[in-house]
Structure 1
């Protein structure tokens, strides 16, 4: 747009602008006492005030720019007195005018300094839109020097479409005094000297100097603000995208625990429709059994203040369909704007892993059951012998009873027959109980069911498994020696699974001891297997020791690997199953060579809560 500038600024534009943007002005069109029109309060270079030269003989100047009247000499006394009186009045007027002029110049100086110190640009225009004042901040904003813009139309500082509409606004205001933008902050675009456009906040004020309106614009550059806002918006969009696309569930709650926002992963985790969780209390989504432990943790986190290490808990959420989500929750506290505090939570869904562990446990139980059946199959001959003995005794005592009842070749008194029958029947009952006990142990050992852990006294469990192992040890001519502490504390365990571990270790030890004996060294010490149980710090250690042939170094490292075996027959799952059972109980199992020859397999079980060693 072509610049159109007037030659001289209007004398009516003698105005001052306070830092608040309000206008204060002197009487329009009047000269300041002691000098000319105030023209030096804009621009980077202060323009000197044009001052009228005082008369050489008097140095007087009257208000309004009028020339002073020269005194005339009078010869008569009356005229002389009148002249003296008038001269005195003129002296008073001159003193008053000098004082007023000095005050006016000082005010102009102050206002000029204030305007040049302002960080906002200040522009004064007349009714035609011509620039009459332009402070230093305006120079920095637009890139013009003050002398380049004075008298030019202010539309030169505006890009389209504001430059085309500006004159229309001025004309309408002059005609109707209706200012749609006067007194209102607006965000518009400014046009710099180099042609670049920048956002700015414009506040417009209007005032009249005599009968002519003037407009004051206070301008604040919004470039840095908009840059920061754009950067903040970009950062917020990035964080929002990360928040929404994160594979883990995330949510934000206020200080009372109500959900302010959550991402899609958290909604999917709980089976909720989009944004269906916003406004709900987070604790209400937690499984009822986990709430008592979580509530005080979150309360302590709120009280601790921001910066505290986040807390982590494993808990369960209730889905909308009633199923359970197993998650690991990480929560941290953040101080938000104006002192408000929010909790930010992240949830890692372990439901699939939990289900996989559950299925793995079921599979391990199936393997364990198969292993127990396999052990019973391998012990079949010993079991048959163990059951056959009491059955044979029962048959013999039953035959004796028949003979007693038949009378035989030498009849006996009835009382003697009755006593013999009573003894025989008592032996039959004892042998039946013996057979029943063997069958009961076998049935309990091979039963299939869901693992159930309870407080267990290991002394009873170990005594029972030794009796079961003795079914097999007699066929191997192996002695099982028990070294069990009488003060074993209770453990939390599945007794059948612990029996399975001990029985596997005992049978392996008996086989190793039998192999050593086949080399010709058959002393009793080498055909003895020891079962030892003792108390350590917080655990019970159970060990099976033998003097048989142990594994070599390479095999020792692979003993607990599935399907690895040093036997000619077998699947190589026995020790692997033992390891999974022990570790599922929170214990450890291992092997070490026994000093003096042989092997030692041992495992630990943690003492039950509240148990005393």
Structure 2
């Protein structure tokens, strides 16, 4: 740019030494940059000085104009304020005269007519009483008939309602807030309250014309200089004119975009009525002079020329640096890539390979660049396929998603790779070859094959299951998965899945209530991530379409796409249900047989028990016959004998009825049963056997026991069996008469925080041997020679079917066995207040 270095161009003169030393320490490039920036900075400073001077002058001019507008607007506001206050005072005088009963309706109309004729801005005066009824009104001729208020009418609802109430509450004059666009947009209302001996008596409503207030309240000289207007509280114009806003895009200077204006609220109305004055457009003064624009244009041209020259120099240097940086960047990027890159010319010759390609194949760049097909990394067995692929590549017949091939390394090992091809285009837009990227996919291929094999094994296992497996998303009828058995039963639709869920009572999805919209979601608390720990539900249902009983189990899980789904596993349990029903029938027959066997064993005792009332009946009848024949009996003696005979017959009948109800075969019938009735009936059956064996029995039943949901016949069977076993144990032990006793106790208890009723039978027999204790409830095991071994087994089955438990234990007196205690408990269901009895008493037989 210069024939000599910039440091030699410094003039000799009064330059400080520190500046000279600093200049010489700079590089030639920076010195050249500073030399170019100095003239530009001088031009910019000159232009800034000119702009600042003109700006200052314009700001001074604008301040003067603003002060003038402010003074004039405040003067106009004072004139309007005084005019409003004068009208307010006149209306207040009229209100005082009305309160003092000095003015009636006719006098009010006369005064209103005078005021409206004298003051043009006043349009209407109305006298409204405390009941919002119009007593008198007068309106200017310019008011339309629809707006004129007629005396005697009630003020329309909503009309001046808020201002009327405010004047009544404050007892002071109140101005309304005019709203643009309403029916009274051009009116300003003044409510002056009437006070009669401290009580509210109505209001005097004066209505002003906003346009008249502006026309007669603003001085003429101000209206000629400015565009004066009245605005409401939201800035909407009620009356007057305004200067249209200027378009800022057409203004050369920012301060000329908007007119000079000032606004101030009109007192005493307040912020609801604002007077605004806008100065009319004037000349720009010195800003519009040609000197300003000439200086600005010359400065801009000089600066533009300096900048253009400097930018041209810097552009060439930047292009050179950018080219060097781009080359270094691309080289670093190619060396750091894990993807192999290979370039071919239009004839299939290798022109470029990067470091990753050489690392993958094992050949160096010198060994590959310039080679023509066949290439050394082609496997021998795949050369025909590779040649066909290369021909397709050179002809432009490439696959958009790439293609997979096998590549041979220099050590003859093979790996799988995927190739992607794209054309190479030079700076002129001509294609010069093809660029191929190569990625090693050996490991992804191996993982994909393993996943596919795992999926096949998983599918094979599910298809071979003897259970139906189905998965469906919540809130949808889409079937995500179904195994072979499900498709065999229900087809490929989701209706079978949904029907099983509905029939099993498993909620498939939360549904909002029609009445309560903020109920807690049915799935509140379910994890949003993994649901593998969710508790599964199960139920047994019958499917009429299949004629099968199914055990249905369900659980919630996250499907592979993130949706919450429900898996249902259904197993065919028809054969199991049939076996259970058959087992229940057999158990019922076994219980009936056990009762028959028990009564068979007690036959002799029952016959002895029945023999007594039958013998008594025979004796009474024979005695009656003999005495009647001899005519030695009175009517009273006959009646007494017949009464005793009837009582003995009833006794025999009750014994027979009890035995029939005990041995009668019936379906299990669980009802709320009284414990004391069950115990008394069991004792009545068992005490016959106990008396025959000379065994004394005592029983204790707690008072106010809750009722139990049981089959009373089955519980009686358990008690009779335990009491008979106790009597037989005492007889086998050959106890003396003083120790031949059995005790039955029925009391309430708490077991595992659950209220139960415990039945216990305590005997004084020989107890149970340890080997017998282990096999006590085993079927067909008995310690009695004539026993069948099904009594205790049936007792345990009956108790457990009522959700209870049976327990047996020996009672010791020191080291000697003093007897045995059999007990069982039944849980309380549907009972309240299981309170133990206080003194139920002990009965000895």
Say whether the fold is shared (TM-score over 0.5): yes
Match of 1:207 among 409, 419, 425: 425
From the superposition, tell whether residues 305 and 100 of structure 1 become closer, same or farther in structure 2 (CA, over 3 Å): closer
Deviation at 1:548, TM superposition (A): 2.4
Q: Structure 1 stretch 448-457 or stretch 536-545: which is displaced more?
A: 448-457
Q: Is the 8 A contact 1:482 1:530 kept in 2?
A: yes
Structure 2 equivalent of residue 592 of structure 1: 809
Query: Is the 2:538–2:553 Cα contact (8 Å) retained in structure 1?
Result: yes
User: In the alignment, does 2:384 pair up with 1:164?
Assistant: no
For residue 291 of structure 1, give the secondary structure of its aligned residue in structure 2: coil
Deviation at 1:96, TM superposition (A): 9.9
Q: What does residue 135 of structure 1 align with?
A: 354
Q: Which residue is 1:342 aligned to?
A: 565
CA contact (8 A) 1:116 1:135 kept: yes
Q: 1:432 to 1:203 in 2, by over 3 A?
A: farther
2:436 matches 1:217: yes
User: Which residue of structure 2 aligns with residue 382 of structure 1?
Assistant: 605
1:464 corresponds to 2:464: no
- Of residues 185, 188, 197, the one that matches 2:401 is 185
**In 2: Cα distance, 1:298 partner to 1:377 partner:** 63
What is the TM-score when the length of structure 1 is the normalising length?
A: 0.72
Paired residues of 2:360 and 2:409 also in contact (CA < 8 A): no
2:340 to 113, 121, 140: 121
For the pair shown, the structure with the greater C-alpha radius of gyration is 2
1:287 and 1:316 in contact (8 A); partners too: no
1:278 & 1:350 partners in 2: Cα distance? 23
**In the TM superposition, what are the counterparts of 1:164-563 in structure 2 within 5 Å?**
164-166=387-389, 168-169=391-392, 173=395, 179-181=396-398, 184-194=400-410, 195=412, 196-207=414-425, 213-246=432-465, 249-256=468-475, 259-264=479-484, 267=486, 273=488, 276=491, 278-280=493-495, 282-286=497-501, 288=503, 290-291=504-505, 299-300=522-523, 303-307=526-530, 309-321=533-545, 323=547, 325=549, 327=551, 329=553, 331-334=555-558, 336-337=560-561, 339-346=562-569, 352-399=575-622, 407-410=628-631, 416-417=634-635, 419-516=636-733, 518=734, 521-523=736-738, 526-537=739-750, 538-563=755-780
Per-residue deviation at 1:155? 4.9
Distance 1:98 1:498, change over 3 A: closer
Q: Distance in 2 between matches of 1:551 and 1:453?
A: 33
- Displacement, 1:423? 3.9
Q: Report how far residue 461 of structure 1 moved.
A: 0.7
Cα deviation, 1:74-130, whole Å, max 9, x if unaligned, reads xxxxxxxxxxxxxxxxxxx99999986665454433333333333322222111011
Q: Secondary structure at the match of 2:709?
A: strand
CA contact (8 A) 1:301 1:333 kept: no
Matches within 5 A, 1:58-137: 104-137=323-356
**Secondary structure of 1:181's partner?**
coil
Gap runs ≥5 in structure 2: 1-311, 511-519, 835-845
Distance 1:96 1:599, change over 3 A: closer
> Displacement of 1:365 after TM fit?
2.2
8 Å contact from structure 1 (residues 204, 215) kept in 2:
yes
Identify the range of structure 1 (372-381 vs 566-575) with the bigger mean alpha-carbon deviation: 566-575
SS of residue paired to 1:477: coil
SS at match of 1:578: helix
Query: Partners of 2:454 and 2:347 in 1: how far apart?
Result: 46
Alignment CA distance shift 1:214-1:557 (3 Å): closer
- Which residue of structure 2 lines up, in the alignment, with residue 70 of structure 1? none
Show the counterpart of 1:55. Answer: none
C-alpha separation between the residues in 1 aligned to 2:719 and 2:749? 19
Output the CA distance in 1 between the equivalents of 2:619 and 2:492.
78
Q: Please say which of residues 102-111 and 379-388 is displaced more in the overlay.
A: 102-111
Q: Aligned equivalents of 1:571 and 1:390: distance in 2?
A: 33
| Alignment coverage as a number of residue pairs | 497
Residues 556 and 134 (structure 1), Cα distance of their counterparts in 2 relative to 1, 3 Å cut: closer
| Counterpart secondary structure, 1:600 | strand
Any conservation in 1 of the 2:348–2:373 contact (CA below 8 Å)?
yes
189-198 vs 377-386, greater mean Cα deviation: 189-198
Partner SS for 2:536: strand
CA contact (8 A) 2:550 2:570 kept: no
Aligned equivalents of 2:699, 2:678: Cα separation in 1:
13
1:18-68 CA-partner distances (Å, limit 9, x unpaired): xxxxxxxxxxxxxxxxxxxxxxxxxxxxxxxxxxxxxxxxxxxxxxxxxxx
Assess if the C-alpha contact under 8 Å between 2:337 and 2:356 holds in 1.
yes
User: What's the offset of the Cα at 1:477?
Assistant: 2.4
CA distance, structure 1, for counterparts of residue 800 and residue 508 of structure 2? 28
Q: Which runs of 5+ in 1 are unaligned?
A: 1-92, 174-178
Measured on the aligned residues, the alpha-carbon RMSD in Å equals: 3.5
- The equivalent of 1:601 in structure 2 is 822
Using the TM superposition, give the Cα deviation of residue 549 of structure 1 relative to its aligned residue in structure 2, in angstroms.
Answer: 2.6
Q: Is the 8 A contact 1:312 1:328 kept in 2?
A: no
Q: Aligned equivalents of 1:396 and 1:134: distance in 2?
A: 132
Q: TM-score when scaled to structure 2?
A: 0.53
Query: Could you tell me how far 1:506 is from its partner in structure 2?
Result: 0.7
Q: Contact 2:543–2:550 (CA<8 Å) still a contact in 1?
A: no
Cα deviation, residue 223, structure 1: 2.4
